[in-house]
């Protein structure tokens, strides 16, 4: 029997999107042939219901990393520090997509990982815009249904909080466990922008929290999360074309800053990306 939370997630994932989003998802899946299992649309473009002038965000779920790539080193990089992230353009729109195997997508949405990156994102609204078949759709839905209980459990007990305050506190904790280029209060605005949705999901998400899940550990999560963010930044300089420019664009957009890359930083993207970190941290653009 399907849980109430699974049914809520399934309904949300199936809501219609702009045809250009569907076309982009189909193009992303085609890049990886028979390894593609599902494509999920998420992020600011979905929340704002705006595409033009923004970069669309997707996750591509694949059956196996070796099957997803022609180059073996990309498969190894994806398995070692998931996900790999790639740029793509279609119908005049820019996008980026992260690649995870079905096994990693399920694991990273659950409480067995301290890393917040995936379950924090998929506790928020998303759309399943392409699937290889019904089995792939069910697997992606089941994985995403793990995210919200993981988020709330990790934040600890409510202690008299309203459900919305619990969501807000949980997202604030996850933002503190990554290098984030966001204005203060961003975590709360995610909830406030769609409060009815979070109210509607609360009862089912709380009921789905496993009794064995242990909350807390945020000091360790913050250290590990920021280290992992730096490692992903370094990896992106090798796997993501124009990665340093994208990183600066995103920081400027979210933090309201005006950083610019020097020519040598574009010629040497790994060193360029890493060289930005001290300045970004000092300025508070990245926390």
- Using DSSP's 3-state secondary structure scheme, residue 47 falls into helix
Helix (H) or strand (E) holding 93: strand 93-101
Global confidence as pTM: 0.85
User: Quick check: 40 and 34 in contact, CB under 8 A?
Assistant: no
Residues 141 and 122: beta-carbon distance below 8 Å: no
Task: Summarize the chain as % helix, strand, coil (round to 5).
Answer: 55, 15, 30
Q: Domains, the chain, ranges and CATH?
A: 4-219 (3.30.460.10), 229-283 (no CATH)
87 forms bridges with which residues in the sheet? 96
According to DSSP, the residues that pair with 38 across neighbouring strands are: 61, 131
The answer to whether the peptide bond before residue 83 is cis (omega within 30 degrees of 0) is yes
- CA pair distance 19, 25, nearest whole angstrom: 10
Query: Mind listing the pLDDT tens digit of every residue in the chain (287 residues)?
Result: 899 999 999 999 999 999 999 999 999 999 999 999 999 999 988 987 778 878 899 999 999 999 999 999 999 999 999 999 998 999 999 999 999 999 999 999 999 998 999 999 999 999 999 999 999 999 999 999 999 999 999 998 777 899 999 999 999 999 888 766 555 556 668 999 999 999 999 999 999 998 876 677 788 888 888 778 777 776 776 666 555 666 666 666 555 667 676 776 666 555 555 566 665 555 554 55
């Amino acid at each position: 029997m399907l849980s109430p939370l699974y049914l809520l997630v399934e309904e949300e994932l199936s809501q219609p999107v702009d045809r250009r989003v569907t076309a982009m998802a189909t193009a992303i899946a085609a890049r990886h042939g028979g390894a593609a299992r599902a494509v999920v649309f998420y992020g600011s473009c979905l929340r704002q219901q705006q595409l033009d002038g923004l970069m669309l965000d997707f996750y591509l779920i694949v059956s196996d990393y070796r099957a997803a790539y022609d180059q073996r080193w990309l498969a190894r990089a994806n398995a070692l520090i998931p996900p790999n992230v790639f740029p793509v353009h279609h119908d005049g729109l820019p996008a980026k997509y992260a690649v995870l195997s079905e096994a990693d997508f399920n694991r990273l949405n659950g409480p067995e990982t301290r890393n917040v990156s995936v379950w924090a994102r998929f506790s928020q609204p998303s759309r399943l815009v392409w699937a290889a078949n019904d089995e792939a759709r069910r697997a992606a839905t089941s994985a995403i249904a793990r995210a919200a209980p993981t988020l709330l459990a990790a934040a600890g007990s409510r202690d008299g909080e309203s459900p919305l305050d619990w969501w807000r506190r949980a997202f604030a904790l996850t933002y503190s466990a990554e290098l984030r280029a966001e204005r203060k209060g961003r975590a709360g605005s995610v909830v406030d922008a769609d409060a009815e949705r979070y109210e509607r999901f609360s009862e089912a998400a709380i009921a789905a929290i496993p009794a064995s899940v242990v909350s807390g550990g945020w000091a360790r999560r913050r250290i590990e999360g920021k280290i992992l963010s730096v490692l992903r930044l370094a990896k992106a300089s090798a796997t993501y074309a124009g990665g340093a420019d994208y990183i600066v664009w995103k920081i400027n957009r979210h933090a309201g800053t005006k950083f610019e890359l020097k020519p040598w930083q574009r010629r040497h993207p790994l060193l360029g990306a890493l060289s930005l970190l001290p300045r970004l941290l000092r300025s508070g653009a990245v926390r």
